[in-house]
Chains A and B, each alone.
Chain A
Amino acid sequence: MTRPLLETVDLKKHYGGTRKLLQRPKPLVKAVDGIDLQLAPGEVLGLVGESGCGKSTLARTLLGLERETEGTITFDGQDVGGRGASAAREIRSDIQYVHQDPGAALDPWWRIGDTLHETLKIHGVTDKAERDARIEEMLLAVGLNDSFRRRYPHELSGGQQRRVGLARTLSLRPRLVILDEPTSGLDLSVQATVLKLMLELRAQYDLTYLFISHDLSVVERLCDRVAIMYLGRIVEIGAAEQVFSKPAHPYTQALLASAPTLERQEAGKPIEGDPPSPTNRPEGCPFHPRCPMAEAACRQVVPDLADLAAAHRVACPPALRTLTPQ
């Protein structure tokens, strides 16, 4: 394998758990709790999980907006972890982020052109001619003509706002782009054009994507590999076709069975209960209270990811035992 573009080892982000003078102790929230992740250059990795599983915290920690509690982050062979917010952002400027709600991410009082200029100014592009050239190039790349510079965000449709969001991010020439639910709230026909655009841009600009989503059909369509998260941990990771065709972890199986497909799903009981809150994590495997395969050991030991097949890892000892030939 070529050197990964981004690698994390045992990355953790915990909140609270401390107590200030005369205050009640804040509950300890293990939002991200031991993530080992490798992103190869040029790949699209899907990160899937339900609300509260720590997807967004992981993204923020990778970006450097949150300081990791433990673990290492390596970008392109360089250790980029263990820094405060501004230092971390500086060293990680090759990692950029596309906001989930582009309408909220654009200043309603600013013309699109001013917003795009501001982004480049903040990132140290002082030459106005160069900024103009980059903005023109990026708007064209996302399929908007130059007249959009003079428009205000409210004049744009949802799909156009996403395109501006992409143009803004790509004008900084990142190598890794974190896309947070890039198609949520878009209509089906617009979603398709935005997805197509993202794939074209990846080829054109040599990008690597971390694609955060809970829409399984989009992830299956777009991603090379997929990681399934549950309560701050990755429970299964592998090539998208393997994970989707042969899901091994009981949670992945339940998730896939729950995603509405175009056929009516009569068979299979939906998974019971609600996702537990990260403030009140069960001991052992976080999924065991809802798991049909749970056994005594699951209630005590937090399982680690182990190889099931080439490029398919799963954190579930009972599943591994049944699926691997003795």
Chain B
Amino acid sequence: MSDAILSVRDLKLSVKGDAGLAQILDHVDFSIHPGEVLGLVGESGCGKSTLIRSIMGLPPKGARIESGSVTFKGQSLMDPKIAQGLRGREIGFIPQDPFQAFNPVFTVGDQILEILRWSGLPDDPKGGRYTKELRAKHRARLIEVLHAVQIPDPEEALTRFPHQFSGGQRQRILIAGALASRPSVILADEPTTALDVTTQMQILRLLRELAKDFNVAMLFVTHDFGVVAQICDRVTVMYAGQTVETGTTRQIIDAPRHPYTGMLMACHPERATEITGIPGQVSSPLTPPPGCRFAPRCPRATEACTTARPGLDRRADGRRIACIHEKEVA
């Protein structure tokens, strides 16, 4: 589709480490459209974090992109110069842990204004000096966004230190920091896992409204399908570095078609008829199985699955599935 704001196309990435060449990502493919919340779901070690870092133009040390592309509005994010110019300005980031994201010895206002100083607002004069007037302008914008994330008395909040806020309030401030520069894409890396459920629900609803009000696209990384159901419009599921299925939230949760998605949903306490789990273990990225990486654990696997990687094909119901057996059913 042409109107995608951020697209990851056939991304294949490997990291050279002490233990050898790890094939972390293998043909990851998805795109996000303006105003849409896309959930990125996968278990630990499936490459979510490497993917997020690659999108920000900060791939891990020793990483090599073997094929594919990451583009933002047509510009390649694999070019470090371009990525640096967009990061923090056009592409915002909400971290996982609001308790670790702040430096305890500076006020939250100083810390967020520092970020704005370097990323700048879109209407800042180009190449100008950082003047008092500019700082005052940034401050005014930050106060405006703090109102939007429902921080009481933002003026006063800017002068306080991180420990004076609860976890939920700190996460709100970080969200405000990400939104201040009017980004068109926000990457949210499990922004609610460190919070209690009542706070989590407040933050999820806030993010849902903000995505609409500010018309930002959001890539929402999580492993919790309950959270996905609350906030995401579409979901893309990853297994061991491969994209296995992409569809609307209801499609993925109610009628998963890829065997991995199906087995993962069956593990959810709400859906499980009996508690089982998925037998076997995720393969090591050092020695990925040829073909479909889920094949060794898949009950439907045949010989064909172990020879060639299944293509991520679009199906009649609009979703994309990487499984040769689903093809026959559809």
Contacts and interface: CB of A to CB of B under 8 A. Distances in A.
A189 B264 contact: yes
A157 B230 CA distance: 30
Interface in B184-212: 196-202, 204-205
Looking at chain A's contact residues, the main secondary structure is: helix
B19 to A, nearest CB: 13
Interface of B: 43-44, 166, 168-169, 196-202, 204-205, 223-227, 229-230, 249, 253, 263-264, 267-272, 275-278, 281
Contacts of A157: 281
Contacts of A263: 229
A191 B229 CA distance: 20
A270 B269 CA distance: 23
Given A265-B230, A271-B201, 10 more contacts: A158-B44, A189-B267, A191-B277, A255-B197, A258-B200, A259-B197, A260-B201, A263-B229, A264-B229, A274-B168
A260 B226 contact: yes
B160 to A, nearest CB: 15
Contacts, number: 101
Contacts of A270: 198, 201-202, 205
B196 A275 contact: yes
Contacts of B224: 260
Given A188-B267, A220-B269, A270-B205, A50 B275 contact: no
A261 interface: yes
A150 to B, nearest CB: 19
Interface residues of A, number: 35
Contact of B226 (A191, A262, A274): A262
Contact of B199 (A199, A216, A261, A274): A274
A193 interface: yes
Nearest to B222: A260
A54 to B, nearest CB: 14
A190 interface: yes
A13 interface: no
Given A274-B168, A274-B169, A199 B275 contact: yes
A144 interface: no
Contact of A262 (B197, B199, B202, B225): B225
A173 B64 CA distance: 51
Contacts of B199: 274
